């Protein structure tokens, strides 16, 4: 593989320019005021390559609500805590359903299909809660993100967290249902507090790309430190590819071809194993709840760089 950085810088600059003019930008999530205020014209991208170079474009330093992207990191934390025992509490299969569907839970007795749908992430929150208060668990998640991104300034947006808690009846339904199946160890209110807290973390593309370094680099952080074993990084990538975009996961694999996890704040974390950790952000969403412009940018970037994991 040829040195990629010069081309990459040019490609990213071009992408950022192009994305600014794309007419179809999707719909900004409007279920809470803090998200509804986001500007659909925004677009940011940050690409951290295996050689340690960071390339950015557009609003790469603008903070946004990472929302479900946090599920990648809490999954990592839960696996670090209890290893493969996690898979007795949550599955590893695509759900074929929307992110907040409860039908699958009833058909499968409260065992969520995978850790990237809301129900699965709620179980992951319950794992992280073990032995501590909801406040402590939330702080632990925040600290983990700060460590991964190398930025102690990363914070939870209190307004977002409060709004999520206020309007989160669907998530309360999911958590209560799982609890009713005897599959949550802690009180529903505590589990939800942790879950809503992690969703309300604000990060920029630059911070997020850096936080994803270990997934691209066989489990190692930017300084070569071992964060997770290589096979754990590899398997989280596999889960991101098959389950990272709810019922749009197949489409993303088909079009883009790299592991990714989206959030309704408009961010997407994407991983090119051995090559790059990428974060994009644009608040307008497609019908599946993933960033419309962000997905397009990743498709073009992967195409231009030959980064699809499915390409020869």
Binding site for substrate: which residues?
A: 68, 118, 164, 171, 195, 246, 264
Q: Which helix (H) or strand (E) holds 11?
A: helix 5-21
Phi, psi of 269 (to 5 degrees): -100, 130
Per CB under 8 A, does 106 bind a copy of itself? Answer: yes
Q: Hey, what are 134's tokens? A: 């909801």
In the residue annotation, 280 being an active-site residue is answered as no
Residue 80 in contact with a copy of itself, rule: CB under 8 A = no
Choose the catalytic residue: 160, 264, 272, 309.
Answer: 264
Residue 170 touches a copy of itself, criterion: CB under 8 A:
yes
Q: What is the dihedral of CA 177, 181, 186, 190, to 10 degrees?
A: 0
List strand residue ranges (DSSP E) for the chain, in order: 27-28, 44-49, 54-58, 64-65, 155-156, 201-203, 260-262, 267-272, 276-281, 284-285
Which of 233, 296, 297, 298 binds a copy of itself (CB under 8 A)? It is 233
Q: How far apart are the C-alpha atoms of 298 and 47, rounded to whole Å?
A: 11
* Positive or negative: CA dihedral 132, 137, 143, 144: positive
Q: Does position 52 bind a copy of itself by CB under 8 A?
A: no
261 is catalytic: no
Fill in the per-residue mask, 21 to 50: x = in contact with a copy of itself (CB under 8 A), - = not in contact: -----------------------------x
Active site residue 195: yes
In the block, tokens 């749908």 appear at 117
Contact 31, 167 (CB under 8 A): yes
Does residue 179 carry a catalytic annotation? no
Region near a copy of itself per CB under 8 A, out of 51-59, 64-72, 248-256, 292-300? 248-256
SS3 for 191-246, per residue? HHHHHHHHHCEEECHHHHHHHCHHHHCCCECCCCCECCCHHHHHHHHHHHHHHCCH
Catalytic residue among 28, 65, 70, 71: 71
Choices 124-132, 137-145, 147-155, 250-258; region in contact with a copy of itself by CB under 8 A: 250-258
CB of 171 to a copy of itself, least distance (A): 8
| Contact between 235 and a copy of itself per CB under 8 A | yes
Binds a copy of itself by CB under 8 A, chosen from 253, 264, 285, 305: 253
Distance CA 49, CA 30 (A): 34
- Is residue 68 annotated as a catalytic residue, yes or no? yes
Report the sign of the C-alpha dihedral through residues 154, 232, 215, 293, in that order.
negative
Indicate whether 169 belongs to the interface with a copy of itself (CB under 8 A). Answer: yes
Contacting residue, 9, 54, 139, 238, with a copy of itself by CB under 8 A: 238
Does residue 310 touch a copy of itself according to CB under 8 A? yes
In contact, 270 and 257? CB cutoff 8 Å = no
Catalytic residues, which ones?
A: 68, 71, 195, 246, 264
Where on the chain is the footprint of a copy of itself (CB under 8 A)?
A: 50, 91-97, 101-107, 113-114, 169-170, 172-174, 176-177, 179-180, 188, 216-219, 230, 233-235, 237-239, 241-243, 247-251, 253-254, 257, 259, 273-274, 308-312
């Amino acid at each position: 593989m040829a040195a990629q950085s010069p081309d990459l810088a040019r490609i990213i600059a071009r992408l950022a320019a192009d994305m600014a003019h794309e007419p179809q930008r999707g719909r900004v999530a409007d279920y809470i005021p803090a998200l509804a205020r986001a500007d659909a014209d925004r677009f940011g991208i940050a690409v951290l390559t295996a050689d340690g170079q960071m390339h950015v474009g557009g609003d790469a330093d603008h903070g946004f609500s990472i929302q479900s992207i946090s599920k990648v990191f809490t999954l990592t934390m839960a696996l670090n805590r209890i290893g493969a025992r996690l898979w007795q509490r949550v599955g590893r299969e695509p759900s074929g359903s929307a992110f907040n569907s409860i039908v699958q839970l009833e058909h499968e007795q409260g065992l969520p299909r995978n850790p990237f749908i809301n129900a699965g992430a709620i179980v992951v929150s319950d794992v992280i809660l073990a032995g501590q208060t909801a406040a402590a668990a939330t702080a632990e998640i925040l600290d983990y993100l700060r460590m991964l991104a190398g930025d102690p300034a990363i914070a939870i947006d209190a307004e977002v967290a409060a709004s999520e808690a206020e309007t989160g009846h669907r998530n309360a339904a999911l958590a209560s249902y799982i609890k009713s199946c005897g599959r949550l160890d802690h009180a529903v209110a505590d589990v939800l507090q942790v879950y809503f807290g992690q969703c309300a973390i604000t990060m920029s593309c630059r911070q997020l790309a850096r936080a994803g370094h270990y997934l691209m680099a066989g489990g190692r952080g930017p300084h070569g430190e071992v964060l997770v074993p290589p096979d754990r990084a590899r398997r989280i990538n596999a889960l991101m590819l098959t389950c990272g975009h709810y019922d749009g996961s197949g489409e993303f694999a088909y079009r883009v071809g790299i592991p990714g996890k989206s959030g309704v704040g408009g961010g997407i974390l994407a991983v090119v194993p051995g090559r790059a950790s990428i974060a994009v952000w644009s608040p307008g969403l497609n019908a599946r709840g993933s960033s419309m412009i962000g997905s397009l940018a990743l498709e073009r970037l992967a195409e231009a760089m030959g980064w699809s994991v499915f390409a020869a």
